[in-house]
C-alpha cells in the first residue's frame, strides 16, 4: 500500500468543481521534502539544488520551491521565461540544454543564467550568438567509465556531454577567450536509487576538477552532479536516503579537497523527479470495463496525460479510491482511449475488483507527468490542482478546451483557401 494525502470523499468534493481527469499536487509533501533535502545537505559545501523545471513546469510549484531556497534548471527558452516569471534569475538559474538554438543561448545570457555547454563546438556558437558570459560550465560524459541506465542510456551511447579529452581543450579555449569563472557538470543516470552512485559521481568530478585545474591553469567554483535521484515507484521500494548521499559527498570532499588544501568548491544538484514526483497524482475515473482476451479497465485519462508507462514501460502504482484495503484479486490492463495499443497505465496489474465510476489515483505523477502531455488523437491536457497546506484546493493550470486545440489554426485562411 502506498499512502495518499487525500481520501475518496475529498476527491469527490474536488470533482464537483473540477471534472476528471486532473492532476493534484500536495504542497505539504513538496515543502517537507524540500526541507528534508536541504537539511541533509547542509553539511555539503555551498550546496544548492536547481530544480529541473522540465519535471513539473508550473509557476506555482516553482514559487513554492523558490521559497524553499531552490534555483531552477532550465533547458529551453520557455523554461527560462517561466523561471524568470517567478523571479528566479541570474545565477539561481542554470541553463542545461543540448542541440541548443542561438536565441535560447541569448536569453540565458541576458538573464545571467549559469550556462552549461553540452559540446565543445557550442563554445564558438555561444560566442557568436550571444557572446561569452563570465561564468561557464561544461557537461562531462564519462563514456565507458560509468554505467548509465534504461531511461538515460549508457553514457557512451548517450548524446550528451563532452568526452574527457574534449573537456581539457574546451576549458583551455574558454580561458583563452577570456572566461574567468568555471564549473563542471555531469548527468549520467536517471531514476537512480543507489546513494553510492551519486557519491561516486561527486568523487569523479572532484578528481577531474583537480586534473583540469592543474593542466589548464584555471580554478573551479562549483561542480554540478546533475539530477537523477530516483523515487520508489513500487510500493516495496525504499526512498533514497538524502543523508547517505550528503554524508558520502561530504566525506569525499574532505578527503579529496579539504585535506589537500585545494580551493573550495560549491556542490550543485539539479534533481526534478525526487523533488516533486511522489507528491503528484493523476486522478481518473473508470468509464468502461471490457472483457475480451484480457480484462480491461478504460479510464477517462490516457497516455496523453501520463506518458511514462507507455514511453519507458514505467511502473506507476494505482490505488482504487475507497478500496485501499481490498486485496488485488483481479488482474487488469488499465487503459486510456488513444488509438495506440501502448496506451496503458498498467499491464496485468492485480487490483481490487473495479466497477464503472471507480476513481483511480495514479501515484508518483508529480514529475515528468503532466509535463510530457500532448494532444495526439485530439486529446486535451488536464487541469493541475494544488492541495494547499491549509487544506484549500486551488487550480494552478486549467484543463485545455477544444479552443486550445484549434488556437494555432486559422479558419478564416481556410475559407480563402481553394
Contact call for residue 190 and ligand PLP (CB under 6 A): yes
Sole residue written with cell 593542466: 215
Q: Cell digits for 241?
A: 536516503
Q: Is 187 in the site for ligand PLP (CB under 6 A)?
A: yes
Nearest to ligand PLP of 116, 335 (CB atom): 116
- Helices and strands counted in the chain (H then E): 13, 17
d(CA 202, CA 186) in angstroms, rounded, equals 9
Catalytic one of 74, 271, 299, 339: 339
DSSP 6-43: S-HHHHHHHHTTSPSSEEEEEHHHHHHHHHHHHHHGGG
The nearest distance, CB 324 to ligand PLP, in angstroms, is 28
Stretch that binds ligand PLP, among 51-59, 106-114, 121-129, 376-384 (CB under 6 A): 51-59
Residue 204 touches ligand PLP, criterion: CB under 6 A: no
57 binds ligand PLP (CB under 6 A): no
Interface residue with ligand PLP, options 49, 73, 221, 343 (CB under 6 A): 73
Total residues in contact with ligand PLP, by rule CB under 6 A: 17
Instruction: Determine the interface stretch with ligand PLP among 31-39, 223-231, 301-309, 314-322 (rule: CB under 6 A).
Output: 223-231
Binding mask 324-353 for ligand PLP (x = CB under 6 A): ------------------------------
One of 44, 136, 320, 367 touching ligand PLP (CB under 6 A): 367
CA dist 347 and 314 (Å) reads 11
The whole-angstrom distance between residue 260's C-alpha and the CA centroid of its chain comes to 36
CB of 188 to ligand PLP, least distance (A): 10
Grid cell in block for residue 195: 546513494
Answer for the pair 110, 81: CB distance below 8 angstroms, yes or no. Answer: no
As a three-state string, the secondary structure of 44-107 is: CCCCEEEEEHHHCCCHHHHHHHHHCCCEEEECCHHHHHHHHHCCCCHHHEEEECCCCCHHHHHH
* 339 in catalytic set: yes
CB 372 to ligand PLP: min, Å: 11
Q: Of residues 122, 146, 193, 273, which one binds ligand PLP by CB under 6 A? A: 273
The piece of 47-55, 196-204, 259-267, 310-318 that touches ligand PLP (CB under 6 A) is 47-55
227 neighbors 151 (Cβ within 8 angstroms): no
Active-site positions? Answer: 339
Q: Which residues bind ligand PLP (CB under 6 A)?
A: 52, 54-55, 73, 96, 187, 190-191, 226-229, 270-273, 367
Amino acid at each position: 500500500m502506498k499512502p495518499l494525502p487525500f481520501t475518496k470523499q475529498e476527491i469527490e468534493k474536488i470533482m464537483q468543481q473540477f471534472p476528471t481527469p486532473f492532476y493534484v499536487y500536495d504542497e505539504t509533501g513538496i515543502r517537507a521534502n524540500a526541507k528534508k533535502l536541504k537539511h541533509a545537505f547542509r553539511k555539503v559545501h555551498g550546496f544548492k539544488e536547481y530544480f529541473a523545471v522540465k519535471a513539473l513546469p508550473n509557476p506555482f510549484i516553482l514559487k513554492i520551491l523558490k521559497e524553499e531556497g531552490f534555483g531552477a534548471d532550465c533547458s529551453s527558452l520557455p523554461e527560462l521565461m517561466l523561471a524568470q516569471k517567478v523571479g528566479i534569475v541570474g545565477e539561481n538559474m542554470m541553463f542545461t540544454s543540448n542541440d541548443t538554438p542561438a536565441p535560447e543561448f541569448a536569453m540565458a545570457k541576458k538573464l545571467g543564467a549559469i550556462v552549461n555547454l553540452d559540446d565543445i563546438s557550442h563554445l564558438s556558437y555561444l560566442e557568436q550568438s550571444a557572446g561569452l558570459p563570465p561564468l561557464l560550465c561544461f557537461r562531462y560524459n564519462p563514456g565507458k567509465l560509468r554505467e548509465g541506465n534504461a531511461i538515460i542510456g549508457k553514457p557512451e551511447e548517450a548524446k550528451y556531454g563532452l568526452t574527457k579529452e574534449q573537456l581539457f581543450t574546451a576549458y583551455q579555449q574558454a580561458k583563452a577567450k577570456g572566461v574567468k569563472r568555471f564549473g563542471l557538470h555531469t548527468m549520467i543516470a536517471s531514476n537512480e536509487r543507489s546513494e553510492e552512485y551519486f557519491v561516486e559521481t561527486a568523487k569523479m568530478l572532484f578528481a577531474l576538477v583537480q586534473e583540469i585545474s592543474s593542466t589548464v591553469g584555471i580554478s573551479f567554483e562549483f561542480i554540478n552532479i546533475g539530477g537523477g535521484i530516483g523515487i520508489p515507484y513500487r510500493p516495496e521500494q525504499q526512498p533514497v536516503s538524502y543523508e547517505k548521499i550528503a554524508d558520502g559527498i561530504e566525506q569525499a570532499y574532505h578527503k579529496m579537497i579539504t585535506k589537500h588544501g585545494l580551493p573550495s568548491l560549491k556542490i550543485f544538484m539539479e534533481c526534478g523527479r525526487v523533488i516533486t514526483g511522489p507528491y503528484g497524482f493523476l486522478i481518473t475515473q473508470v468509464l468502461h470495463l471490457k472483457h475480451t482476451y484480457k480484462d480491461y479497465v478504460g479510464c477517462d485519462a490516457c497516455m496523453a496525460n501520463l506518458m511514462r508507462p507507455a514511453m519507458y514501460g514505467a511502473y506507476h502504482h494505482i490505488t482504487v479510491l475507497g478500496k485501499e484495503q481490498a486485496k488485488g484479486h483481479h488482474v487488469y490492463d488499465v487503459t486510456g482511449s488513444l488509438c495506440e495499443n501502448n496506451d496503458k497505465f498498467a499491464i496485468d496489474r492485480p487490483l481490487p475488483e473495479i466497477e464503472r465510476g471507480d476513481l483511480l489515483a495514479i501515484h508518483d505523477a508529480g514529475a515528468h507527468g503532466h509535463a510530457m502531455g500532448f494532444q495526439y488523437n485530439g486529446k486535451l491536457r488536464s487541469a493541475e490542482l494544488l492541495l494547499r497546506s491549509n487544506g484549500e484546493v486551488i487550480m494552478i493550470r486549467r484543463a485545455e478546451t477544444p479552443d486550445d486545440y484549434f488556437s494555432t489554426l486559422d479558419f478564416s485562411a481556410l475559407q480563402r483557401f481553394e
